[in-house]
Amino acid sequence: MRITYVGHSTVLVESKDTAIITDPFLTTWVAGLPRRLEARPSVDELPPITALTVSHAHTDHLHAPSVKLLARRFRGIAGLVPHGVGSYLKSWGIDDVTEMEPYASVTVGDITVASVPLPHVKGRWAKWQDTATAGYVFMTQQASVLVAGDIDFTGSMEIFREIGSRYRVDVACLPVSGMMPVSYYEKRRGRPGVHIDPLAALDIAEALGARRMIPIHWGAVSLRLGPVDEAPRRLLEHARQRGREQDVIILWPGDAWDVES
């Protein structure tokens, strides 16, 4: 299995003739904000995409312009989404849509995809909207990769230990920040509805039992200027203190990595 970090929470997962893209955000703008790190590969450079996954309904993850681009370019592309999100994809040109319940799985070509529950604010425009949140575990006979979209503090690692007990996680692709500087999230660590910071992401990777971790959701979009790689650099510092620096793989947009079991 090969994974390519496209940027933000977009990861390309490939095995043999199957290619799945997560939370596709492939354009230069989202919610009125310009992109700081270009998506790589671009839509025109992507291999034939078999399916896309969406973790939740927020606009930088359920990104309408990107979904429409993929629907036009790859006829017959399937969509795997949590509860309440399927109608969006169908209205944007994707007919083959499966709303997945927690711990349900489907087979897409050579890859088995399992949906796992991850804590984050639900809804698209408001919290009361009935849309669920999820992450996905992509599995072949040789390897297993978990890709999250957003994760909020919960005060408990129980859900991550539960996921790790159900699935082998060779690599966990976890968010390490939001659209604010890392210090914003560090100061609010533990509060409900706040994105996790790099140290919390490392704790979650360990609770999952992940052998390796790849940071995602950094650098592409921000509300304040600063070093685009602040979050992954902070993650490496924490990993170094625990003697796990070799287990953290930093991929820039366009970088690929072959996962081994």
**pLDDT tens digits along 130-161:** 789 999 999 999 999 999 988 888 778 999 99
Q: Strands (DSSP E) along 42-169, which ranges?
A: 51-53, 78-82, 96-100, 105-108, 111-116, 135-139, 144-147
pLDDT reported for residue 123: 52
Structure confidence by residue, pLDDT tens digits, 64-77: 999 999 999 999 99
25 vs 4: CA distance, rounded Å: 14
What does the block give as tokens for 8?
């933000």
pLDDT reported for residue 63: 95
Amino acid, res. 110: D
Residue 15 exposed, middle or buried by CB count within 10 Å (0-12, 13-18, 19+): buried
Other Cβ atoms less than 10 A from the Cβ of 101: the count is 11
pLDDT level of residue 128 (50, 70, 90 thresholds): very low
Does 196 or 241 have the greater pLDDT score?
A: 241
Average pLDDT, the chain: 93
Residue 28 exposed, middle or buried by CB count within 10 Å (0-12, 13-18, 19+): exposed
pLDDT reported for residue 190: 80
Other Cβ atoms less than 10 A from the Cβ of 32: the count is 6
User: Where are the domains positioned within the chain?
Assistant: 2-255
Q: Does the CA dihedral 117-259-199-204 come out positive or negative?
A: positive
Domain 2-255 coded CATH 3.30.930.10: no
What stretch of H or E contains 232?
helix 230-241
In this predicted structure, the answer to whether residue 127 has a pLDDT above a threshold of 70 is no
In this predicted structure, the answer to whether residue 28 has a pLDDT above a threshold of 50 is yes
- Of 90, 131, 132, 134, nearest to 113 by C-alpha is 134
The DSSP symbol for 43 reads: G
